[in-house]
Amino acid sequence: MDMRLETLICDNYRNLNDNDKHIWSFILNNKKKCESMSIQELASSCNVSHTTILRFAQKLGLNGYSELKFYLKLDNQNNKTPVFDKIEYTKVFDDINKTMNVLVERDFTDVCKLLDTCNRIYAYGSGEVQNNAVKELKRTLLSIGELVNVLEGKEELKTISKYMKEDDIIFLYSLSGENKLVNDFAENLKRKGIKVISISRSGNNTLSKISDISIEFYTHEAARLDNDLNIIIGSQFFLVNEFLLLKYIEHKYSKN
């Protein structure tokens, strides 16, 4: 599991409101100071209630404020002077190459058969990049006559789960695979017999274990900026989409 706050923010960004983003901005710019703050002190500094701080932590999938401070302490301990090494170009190239090799060799028959037999297709992305990838999936599959229903926000997940049937499928896009909202949603759907297809970073993550089908890719933290924001390349989400399209076209033509 990725132990950085930035990853939790990225994976849960769509669930954050303006107050949450203001709290994160303050924490990001005052990490060392926040490490020793009580919840009341942080709430006062951000001009919000302590309940708002608690809800912010819970939206990140954390149990409460003490766990938020635990993550913050780890971040501060692991903090390094911002440096960009040109070797990262090679590492990113290797990540993309490894991802492409895995996708070329992977047998997508399991996914293609679900696309052939399902009633409705749904998709949800946990962060901004993931959401854009989900929208691209909709555009991609629409070109071959498959309609993807893109889900937006926490409340829509709660509502749609009541109406989804066993012959529906859902694609879940999550960078870390450790987004609590997404994982709880996936487990709920699995109990109803709905097939879950996850797209996430390679590793022993929770979402890949929950899913009926897991499509994984390679990426890593490529840079850390002056504000301690880590940069993780997310173009592999879109590579998965393109290969899924090609594999599905191959599947449909090979049947004829």
pLDDT tens string 40-55: 999 999 999 999 999 9
Question: Residue 235: pLDDT above 60?
Answer: yes
Strand order in the sheet with 169-173: 148-150, 121-125, 169-173, 195-201, 213-217
Could you tell me the two tokens for 28? 């990001």
**Residues ≥6 apart with Cβ < 8 Å to 170:** 121, 122, 123, 124, 164, 189, 194, 195, 196, 197
H or E segment to which residue 16 belongs: none
If one compares 252 and 254, the residue with the highest pLDDT of the two is 252
Question: What pLDDT is attached to residue 71?
Answer: 85
Closest CA to 215 of 117, 129, 100: 100
Question: Residue 227: pLDDT above 60?
Answer: no
Closest CA to 59 of 105, 129, 5, 124: 5
pLDDT tens string 96-110: 999 999 999 999 999
Percentage of residues in the chain having pLDDT higher than 90: 57
Across 32-36, 47-51, 99-103, 148-152, least confident range = 32-36
Question: Residue 1: pLDDT above 50?
Answer: no
Mean pLDDT within 122-146: 94
Question: What pLDDT is attached to residue 79?
Answer: 60
Q: Which residues of 206-244 are buried (b: 16+ CB within 10 A; e: fewer)?
A: bbbebbbbbbbbbbeebebeeebebebbbebbebbbebb
pTM, to two decimals: 0.71
- Cα–Cα distances in angstroms (integers) from residue 49 to residues 41, 56, 88, 111, in the given order: 10, 11, 42, 46
